[in-house]
Structure 1
Amino acid sequence: MEDMGYRRGRVSRFAKMEFPTYDGKGNPVERLQRCEEFFEEQQTLTEAWVRQATFSLQVRASGWYHNLQRMKTFLNWFEFSEECKIRFGPPMSMNPLGELTRLRQTGTVEDYCEGFEFLLGRTMGVTLEQSIWHFCAVLTNDIRYEVEFARPTTLYYAMNLARQIEFKLAEEG
């Protein structure tokens, strides 16, 4: 097992992992999350996160970072992440919590889940319990009642229940 880069069921620090590249297209939040997972798995010092993440920037993302670096000589990971989201993400409001509270299920549960997760990822300070109950509160009534009655203990359990109930209702006609 040692030969494969594993130690006691855990990938060793030196196991080969692909670092996510980014060219400025696509969702920057996903890329930033993958970077964080990489850094945590490789036990990278937090102070080195920005420097390592910028090595893999390509095309317009690389140009953006060089300009940003001229304007701000030192950025911590939080600042870098926020600048990246502002530049390459969809337009952000000054009140992401407000956006989250205005979100409603108007289409499928899956569409609502995607929008909810995206906005939740941009919102700071929302507890697990708050995220579960806010998610439930704006589901369509026929789905909401059943999900709330089940008293889900995680957001993803609530999402799964909502999808199951939507499926069941569609089968019933």
Structure 2
Amino acid sequence: MVSFHLDSKALQWYQWEECASSLSKWEDFTKAFCREFGSHGFEDFVESLFKLRQTGPLKDYIAKFRRLATRIRDLSPTFRLSCFVGGLKEELKHDVKLLHPATVHEAMNFAHEVDAKLQKLSSKEEEMVHELQQIEQVAEVNACCITTCALYGTPALLAIKTMKLTAIIKNCLVVVLLDSGSSHNFIDIGMVKKLGWKLDQSHICDVMIADDGQVQSKGWV
């Protein structure tokens, strides 16, 4: 039956071995076939399986593990399980060991479950980082306190001790500075334009800021 599935060099090799009567058992055939046409000898498959490590996605590691494990017929279930768990990435290996898998199939299922949880956590962390980056970008444009306030053209005094909060006005993310020590409240002129607020330039006055200096406002909002 085997000869029907072989051609070219493989068929010639099989006919030669058959004449020599050296392939009386299926195990003998598989070992001899792997020695002849495989990239490694039989013992090399064991070594490759033992040294296999996960360096990419879990599904790729499992595929490589299965491809090597199926080449080796006489490995004990315990050794296969040990090889699989030992080759996982550290963050997966630790949690899979805690679940005490009894077989390789159980270990693979546990690894999939743990990997899915880690992927969700990683996604949430990326969202948090993105939100923090947005807040930092808003802080860089020196958005100040949001109230009915005086408007001036100098940068916000971030060096003064203040409490920074974040707020949303008309779907715009802003940074609010509390207790800046100034005599008035201020807002960045760019934020005024972005929010579409009207600027009353008929009321221009000098205001004292937190470092005891004075600046001239450009109007009121």
Deviation at 1:133, TM superposition (A): 2.4
Q: Percent identity?
A: 26
Alignment of 1:94-105 (within 5 A): 94-105=43-54
Question: Aligned in 2, Cα 1:125/1:74: closer, same or farther, shift over 3 Å?
Answer: closer
Tell me what 1:40 maps to.
Answer: none
Is 1:115 equivalent to 2:72 in the alignment? no
2:77 to 128, 131, 144: 128
SS at structure 2 position matched to 1:67? helix
For structure 2, list consecutive stretches of 5 or more residues without a partner in the other structure.
123-221
TM-score, normalised on structure 2?
0.48
Deviation at 1:90, TM superposition (A): 3.2
Q: Count residues in correspondence.
A: 121
Is 1:142 equivalent to 2:91 in the alignment? yes
Q: Partners of 1:105 and 1:66 in 2: how far apart?
A: 40
Q: Partners of 1:155 and 1:168 in 2: how far apart?
A: 20
The Cα RMSD (Å) is 2.2
Amino acid at match of 2:21: T
Tell me what 1:81 maps to.
Answer: 30
- Higher relative CO (Cα under 8 Å, sequence separation at least 6) belongs to 1
Deviation at 1:59, TM superposition (A): 4.0
Q: Partners of 2:40 and 2:47 in 1: how far apart?
A: 14
Tell me what 1:167 maps to.
Answer: 116
Q: Partners of 1:125 and 1:56 in 2: how far apart?
A: 25
CA contact (8 A) 2:35 2:42 kept: no
CA contact (8 A) 1:93 1:99 kept: no
Deviation at 1:148, TM superposition (A): 0.7
Deviation at 1:130, TM superposition (A): 2.4
SS at structure 2 position matched to 1:107? coil
Tell me what 2:207 maps to.
Answer: none
TM-score, normalised on structure 1?
0.59
Tell me what 1:32 maps to.
Answer: none
CA contact (8 A) 1:104 1:139 kept: yes
Q: Which of the pair has more CA radius of gyration? A: 2
For structure 1, list consecutive stretches of 5 or more residues without a partner in the other structure.
1-51
Post-superposition Cα deviations, 1:9-40, rounded to whole Å, max 9, x if no partner, equal: xxxxxxxxxxxxxxxxxxxxxxxxxxxxxxxx
Q: Partners of 1:119 and 1:79 in 2: how far apart?
A: 18
